[in-house]
Amino acid sequence: MAEADRQRDSPKRERILQGALRAFAKKGFYNTRVSEIASEAGVADGTIYLYFKNKDDLLISLFEDRMEWVIERLTTELQAVEGGVLEKLRAFVGLHFQLAIENPDLAEFITVELRQSAKFVKEYENPKFADYLKILQFLIEEGQRGGELRTDLDSRLVSRALFGALDEVLLQLTLARTPPKDVTEETGQISRMIIDGLVHRDEHT
């Protein structure tokens, strides 16, 4: 096949994706030269076009590939959580941050590039991001059915809001390159805020 994407699993393809991730995280999509990606990946400029149709395609492929991976890890780890929906929600928050800390380039890439790219690279719809949101949404709905969560809030709205909250906090953490000293404390606070709200309550839950 003379087509512009060789076998989906090829060490070279993966090297290119990795190089692109590093480069995009460091300088952003529009400020990254294809030749920089190539040298980061240790291949020739032209080689990239054997695996991807063009720069846009490389960006989108990177999204899909990495998001798929994130979704898979999140799903499995979430299934292993003992306890009710509240416990799972807390775990979700923790996992979201943990994944980001373990993969700083990926975190930076996703938090910073997701929006722009989603909108301007030839109207790409980003189905994987939708999948990610669905995990949250279903978790909320499970809790609503089970009686743990209030039912007067739209699950799609809530899941979006939650994602936004996590994402924004993560953005700061990521950009500041803060050493993750007290992440547990932060995720704890966020979970409490999400679950119990901001309002002050008398001493008894």
Partner DNA sequence: ATTGAATGAATGGGCATTCATTCACCCAAA
Partner DNA sequence: TTTGGGTGAATGAATGCCCATTCATTCAAT
Q: Single out the residue of 5, 57, 131, 167 in contact with a second copy (rule: CB under 8 A).
A: 167
Pick from a second copy, DNA, none: which does 33 bind, CB < 5 to 8 A by kind? DNA
Task: Note whether 8 binds DNA by CB under 7 A.
Answer: no
8 A C-beta contact, residue 38 and residue 48: yes
What binding mask, one character per residue, do residues 16-45 give for a second copy by CB under 8 A, x or -?
A: -----------xx-xx--------------
Minimum CB separation from a second copy for residue 11, in Å? 30
Among a second copy, DNA, none, the one that 55 touches (CB under a kind-dependent 5 to 8 A) is DNA
Residue 142 per-residue DSSP state: H
Minimal CA–CA distance to 23: which of 55, 64, 65?
55
Which tokens sit at 191?
């979970």
Q: Binding partner of residue 100 among a second copy, DNA, none, CB under 5 to 8 Å per kind?
A: none
DSSP 35: H
User: What value, to the nearest 5°, has the Cα angle with vertex 158 and ends 153 and 162?
Assistant: 150
**Residue 8 DSSP class:** S
178, 182, 183, 187: CA torsion to nearest 10: -130
Closest CB to a second copy among residues 40, 43: 40
> In the window 33-52, what residues touch DNA (CB under 7 A)?
33-35, 43-47, 49-50
Least Å distance, CB 34 to DNA, is 4
- Residues within window 12-31 making contact with DNA, judged by CB under 7 A: 12
Q: Angle, to 10 degrees, between the axis of helix 85-102 and the axis of helix 127-146?
A: 150
> Is the alpha carbon torsion for 44, 45, 46, 50 positive or negative?
positive
> Could you tell me the smallest distance in angstroms from the CB atom of residue 13 to DNA?
8
- Interface residue list for DNA (CB under 7 A): 6, 12, 32-35, 43-47, 49-50, 54-56
